[in-house]
Structure 1
């Protein structure tokens, strides 16, 4: 009997938990009867009572929910890795706690997994959301597809279904400052992409701030693309060639007109241009150096405060009251 582990990272999702658990459990009837289920909720250092809501849900659905309570906030991708490490299923899925991704799509994903695909991706073909966040998300995934990983599906994704082998490989890498979903594609397994429309968030407020989006873009580009460092090399060679030509021009000008005063304006333009390039180059190289230092420290991706395997009888009584 195959076991499906559904991993749900949680951050300030106190209000979402009752609805999320109800929809996930209700979706079980759409699967073949042979499938058993395990829901691994990872509390990513939430400042509200997400843990309390999860413990209450555990009382409602005994034997189904496992809670991994992290000591502090480490970001959704590291929280997902923690969930993968604690999951015991033959196949696994990752879905958001706000249910913007439809749980019913997991039935199709499971069918593809049964056919032998080790990775099934739910790609966001359309969105019910509007506004600047949608534009930024599309720009992010366009950049990643064209500059880093050309084999990722269009539209972006963070809803995946994958085999135990993929889970083992991801946890073995201990990748820092990266994107766990892109790591799954990078592994090279053949995958199926299922397009869907992402729902609009109905409960709570997203904590996915602009700063976090920018950090994700920088982390993803530096983790999967050599373009930034290669661009510096190409630009440096180009500027070197221009400087060489300008030097030849200055020498020729000096020979032809010994009394001609030097051009202060052109000299300052060249100096400012080269100085700006040097600062940008140092910034990009610094990003790589910092990531190398961060990896060399070998600090854990996450620290588990406590795991809750099942509800106590008292919690089951409280949940039923």
Structure 2
């Protein structure tokens, strides 16, 4: 392979096992004879992950290290790595070896064969049943409502050409959903199934809060369905109002109207107020995202770099 390879790894709370990940990368580099550039983006870890990177840099001179000033999130860390990538082929993997470097040659072969992107499709996952159900449900929901065809069960693990990387970086979104952006830019893409391994050590940096944020980024960035739901709720409320008005008029002309009616009024008020609050919440989410884009803040603040 004559192409220069860039491998991007976002690093978070990995000080205890990062050396194993880099060693696995180096073993594959030697085996495949890569001209390698390894970009480690330390995403404001509370542990001493960047200290671990500083110790590894003299041993592996092809490392480029980037330390973010705080935790900006996985997607921003990957996007930062993409902006520093200079390789002809770019790969993205996690720091926990769930997507091992040994898989990459099979993916790079697809780029050699004319594809611009080869992404991983997770055949099996080593997470709990509840988490797997949540992932499966989300990907299928997003596939149903998204205006862009986003492959099912595909994560950020992928390889791409420099051309695709450059096009992805043209989308200057404040809350990027990279696997969606990767699908949106198009070009010739192929999915490859693989069995995802368990973590080598430690716990995932993806808390429930972070997973919900990524899910929201995917839904609100690639679907207008939430806004359409407001119209649906409004029409449903209008229909119920008309039916209730006709029912009330019938009772009035039938002399069945009684002074009592407190329960009905309370139920109707609660119902329509709930619709109103849901609608305001959805509109507020879009307004917040518009506000984020208008402020035009930098995606991240870089505190320190090594070899970059």
Separation in structure 2 between the aligned mates of residue 242 and residue 171 of structure 1, nearest angstrom: 48
Task: Normalising by structure 1, report the TM-score.
Answer: 0.90
What is the aligned residue count? 307
Q: Which residue of 2 aligns with 1:101?
A: 99
8 A contact 2:24–2:101 mirrored in 1 = yes
Across the aligned residues of Structure 1 and Structure 2, the Cα RMSD in angstroms comes to 1.7
Greater relative contact order: 1 or 2 (C-alpha under 8 angstroms, separation 6 or more)?
Answer: 1
Alignment of structure 1 residues 90-239 onto 2, 5 Å: 90-148=88-146, 151-239=149-237
Q: Secondary structure at the match of 2:269?
A: helix
Separation in structure 1 between the aligned mates of residue 155 and residue 273 of structure 2, nearest angstrom: 39
8 A contact 1:144–1:221 mirrored in 2 = yes
Separation in structure 2 between the aligned mates of residue 190 and residue 201 of structure 1, nearest angstrom: 31
Q: Which residue of 1 aligns with 2:286?
A: 288
Q: Secondary structure at the match of 1:199?
A: coil
Q: Which residue of 2 aligns with 1:263?
A: 261
Q: 1:252 deviation in Å? A: 3.3
Unaligned runs of 5+ in 2: none
- Superimposed CA distance per residue, residues 28-68 of structure 1 (whole angstroms, 9 cap, x where no aligned partner): 2443x4x4110000011112111111111111112x11011
Q: 1:186 deviation in Å? A: 1.5
Separation in structure 2 between the aligned mates of residue 85 and residue 150 of structure 1, nearest angstrom: 24
Q: Secondary structure at the match of 1:196?
A: strand
Q: Secondary structure at the match of 2:282?
A: helix
Q: Which residue of 2 aligns with 1:67?
A: 65
8 A contact 1:30–1:107 mirrored in 2 = no
Unaligned runs of 5+ in 1: 311-321
Task: Normalising by structure 2, report the TM-score.
Answer: 0.94
Worse overlay, 244-253 or 272-281: 244-253
Q: 1:290 deviation in Å? A: 0.6
Q: Which residue of 1 aligns with 2:35?
A: 36
Separation in structure 1 between the aligned mates of residue 154 and residue 261 of structure 2, nearest angstrom: 51
Separation in structure 2 between the aligned mates of residue 128 and residue 219 of structure 1, nearest angstrom: 24
- Superimposed CA distance per residue, residues 92-124 of structure 1 (whole angstroms, 9 cap, x where no aligned partner): 010001111121211011111112211110111
